[in-house]
Amino acid sequence: MRQDFESLSSIGATRGGGVSRPTFSAAHTAARRWFLSRAESAGLGTHIDAAGNQSAVLRTRPSQYARVLMLGSHLDSVPGGGRYDGALGVVAALHVLIAFKQAGGELPFDLEAIDFTDEEGTLVGLLGSKAIAGTLTPEILESARGGHEALTAGLKQAGLSKERLFQARRDPGSLAGYLELHIEQGSRLEREKVQIGVVTAIVGSRSFLIVLRGSGGHAGTTPMDQRRDAAVAAARAILAVREIAVRDFPGSVATIGDVRLEPGAFNVVAGLARLALEFRSQDADELDAMESAVLGAIRFSGEAEGIDVETHAAGSWQPTGLDPRMCDATERAASALGLTIKRLTSGAGHDAQALASITPSGMIFVPSVGGVSHDPRELTAWDDCVNGANVLLGTVQELARR
Ligand code: GLV
Ligand code: MN
Ligand code: MN
């Protein structure tokens, strides 16, 4: 497994020791090719669906009507991301299939190791898993957070189409469940010196594209008191968003992760600013409250500078509870291996939250050094990666016994 993990980490490798594999980039496409050819060389079946999700399949029973237990994660990354986010779960899933293939014997379900399309949201976010769950809608595609043109171009280049994505939907009756191994991306396990996290729930999130429209102008000749400067409104908005999150929504988070000014030059007052806003909470009502508070504050920031404010919804996930029986099965598997366990929630989004709407879903976390993620410094000790893979395998065995 380590050899495979290292091979995969070399695809799209960045100088800081991470990987950059945004959805459908050359590096992402190469990583996906690597996955399918590795599955084939292991003697597993392979399959690509209408949403571009890629699977390795192990049929453990003669019946073609057996349900399938899916194990997976994603091979795409954020720009300039780390090597573990998503990739560890895919490689471990593949190796669980290889282990069962080598051991032989029947299970009460078939096994599928799946690499979901666009988990990170370069284009949409949870695109492949929502398509499988049947929760992808034309409206979600219309408001794609990476922009509509990028979505259309990316799908075309991957040989996919917007219309056909919906055909990836699976019949819930065909599924025995979904399990995902992932790095924690936070520091709770490390701080408490715990080896395995059993995830009970995943955070909800909403994202918005904010457009601030002011007036451009000459930076030397437009008097300071006659400006409608979109950059200044953006600065006000960024500070207001942080203040609201900290003051009124402790435990929740709000981020403006990208700012683009137009036209963007030393000597031109910015006439336009585009902001990428995202906020997250474990509670659905709190998400509603955050939405009105945060968007209200941004409008106020614009008005204070004489700027027009547009807000465009650009994606959302509901806070999601994971299946208690899956949690119990993972806990039994980890205990049997003598590993220490903590139940926790996830502040990061995951494909499991899309799958949870159609099949019992569970997640296993392993510690992240320093809690660092979405950064090239992302690191999980190799022993912890192995522990996580063994717990994934053990959870499959627990479910098979049930
Ligand atoms: C995905 O990693 C997310 O939480 O944005
Ligand atoms: Mn991930
Ligand atoms: Mn991620």
Q: What's the 3-state SS for the chain?
A: CHHHHHHHHCCCECCCCCECCCCCCHHHHHHHHHHHHHHHHCCCEEEECCCCCEEEEECCCCCCCCCEEEEEEECCCCCCECCCCCHHHHHHHHHHHHHHHHHCCCCCCEEEEEEECCCCCCCCCCHHHHHHHCCCCHHHHHCCCCCHHHHHHHHHHCCCCCCHHHHHCCCHHHEEEEEEEEECCCCHHHHCCCCEEEEEEECEEEEEEEEEECCCEECCCCCHHHCCCHHHHHHHHHHHHHHHHHHHCCCCEEEEEEEEEECCCCCEECCEEEEEEEEEECCHHHHHHHHHHHHHHHHHHHHHCCCEEEEEEEEEECCEECCHHHHHHHHHHHHHCCCCEEEEEECCCCCHHHHCCCCCEEEEEECCHHHCCCCCCCCCCHHHHHHHHHHHHHHHHHHHHC
pLDDT attached to residue 196: 98
% of the chain beyond a pLDDT of 70? 100
- 86 CA closest ligand 1 atom index: 2
pLDDT, one tens digit per residue, over 208-231 is: 999 999 999 999 999 999 999 999
Q: Does residue 381 carry a pLDDT above 90?
A: yes
Q: Does residue 80 carry a pLDDT above 80?
A: yes
Q: Does residue 77 carry a pLDDT above 90?
A: yes
Q: Does residue 397 carry a pLDDT above 90?
A: yes
Ligand 1 centroid to Cα of residue 349, in Å, is: 4
- The CA angle 38-40-44, to the nearest 5 degrees, is 110
What average pLDDT score do residues 237-257 get?
98
pLDDT attached to residue 64: 67
Q: Given ligand 1 and candidates 350, 373, 375, which is best to mutate, with the most ligand atoms within 8 Å of its CB?
A: 350
- What's the mean per-residue pLDDT of the chain? 97
What average pLDDT score do residues 358-385 get?
98
What average pLDDT score do residues 227-252 get?
98
Are the CB atoms for 82 and 375 separated by under 8 Å? Answer: yes
| 345 burial type by CB count under 10 A (0-12 exposed, 13-18 middle, 19+ buried) | middle
Question: Quick one: which ligand is closest to 349's CA?
Answer: 1
pLDDT, one tens digit per residue, over 269-314 is: 999 999 999 999 999 999 999 999 999 999 999 999 999 999 999 9
Are the CB atoms for 8 and 34 separated by under 8 Å? Answer: yes
- 185 CA closest ligand 1 atom index: 2
By the CB criterion, residues less than 5 angstroms from ion ligand 2 are 85-86
What average pLDDT score do residues 12-35 get?
97
- 373 CA closest ligand 1 atom index: 2
pLDDT, one tens digit per residue, over 39-69 is: 999 999 999 999 999 999 999 877 766 899 9
What average pLDDT score do residues 253-280 get?
98
What average pLDDT score do residues 173-188 get?
98
Q: Does residue 30 carry a pLDDT above 80?
A: yes
Ligand 2 centroid to Cα of residue 82, in Å, is: 10
What average pLDDT score do residues 167-193 get?
98
What average pLDDT score do residues 136-162 get?
95
What average pLDDT score do residues 124-129 get?
97
Within 6 A (CB) of ligand 1 lie: 120, 348-349
